[in-house]
Amino acid sequence: MNAERQQQTIIVIEDDATLNKLLCAQLRASGYNAVSARCWADAQSLLRTVEPVLALLDIRLPDAHGLDKVAELAEICPVIVLTAHASIDQAVTAIKHGAADYLTKPVSPSELDLIIQRTLAAHSMRRDYEYLRRQANLTVGKELVGKSAATLWAPFFPRHVLLETGDAVRGLALTLVVCALASVLAIRAALRVDPADAIGG
């Protein structure tokens, strides 16, 4: 069992008791720590005590409409919306509100596990990218002119790209994104230099 998954909590917000238990059992069998709520009020109580890495949210809850809660929940963790009545309009609305994915029940264990892995990987990469972007905004300026992207970002690669990502493919993808971002920032910094400084005057 993956030790990292044991430390990752997924909250299941589903009003159907049988399906709720089934989803939690599937998640635990895959190595995750699963907690459940059968209404939005219960979910809110749980969210005061746990920090989930992902939420499975049913659209139809007894005390709320799931689509109305996606944006709020997405501020805490990635959200995968579940529904027994799929429609293109619902899917578009869910994604617009910030859902990471939209699935029709029932979902097979293998499909659910794959989608969760994909969602968590994408969220982690986005978080790493945002960290590097913030660091770039803090350091960009005239002192960056003349520095190559490799020189500028070398201090960040070992810790953030190679160690935290762990996965070689994900690390390579993030490296490419960072190099592109560094090049853009270096150009932006160069364009802000006083023309007189640039010609030595």
Give the chain's domain count. 2
Instruction: Please identify, among 107, 133, 151, the residue that sits at the C-terminal boundary of a domain.
Output: 107
Position 166 in a domain: yes
The encoded tokens of residue 10 equal 């997924």
pLDDT in tens, 111-148: 999 999 999 998 888 777 777 777 666 665 545 544 55
The encoded tokens of residue 162 equal 């190679």
21 and 92, same domain (yes or no): yes
Question: Which positions of the chain have pLDDT values less than 50?
Answer: 142, 145-146, 150, 153, 156-166, 169, 193-201
Cβ atoms of 76 and 55 within 8 Å: the answer is yes
9 and 99, same domain (yes or no): yes
pLDDT in tens, 153-169: 455 444 444 444 445 54
39 and 84, same domain (yes or no): yes
Cα–Cα dist 91/102, whole Å: 6
- Reported as type and span, the H/E element at residue 46 is helix 40-47
Evaluate if pTM is beyond 0.95. no
Position 113 in a domain: no
Position 33 in a domain: yes
Cα–Cα dist 143/157, whole Å: 20
22 and 76, same domain (yes or no): yes
Cα-to-chain-centroid distance, residue 183: 25
Give me the pLDDT at residue 97, please.
92
7 and 96, same domain (yes or no): yes
162 and 87, same domain (yes or no): no
128 and 77, same domain (yes or no): no
**Rg, C-alpha atoms of the chain:** 22
What is the extent of the structural domain holding 153?
Answer: 122-198
Position 142 in a domain: yes
79 and 133, same domain (yes or no): no
Pairing label, strands 33-37, 9-13: parallel
Position 68 in a domain: yes
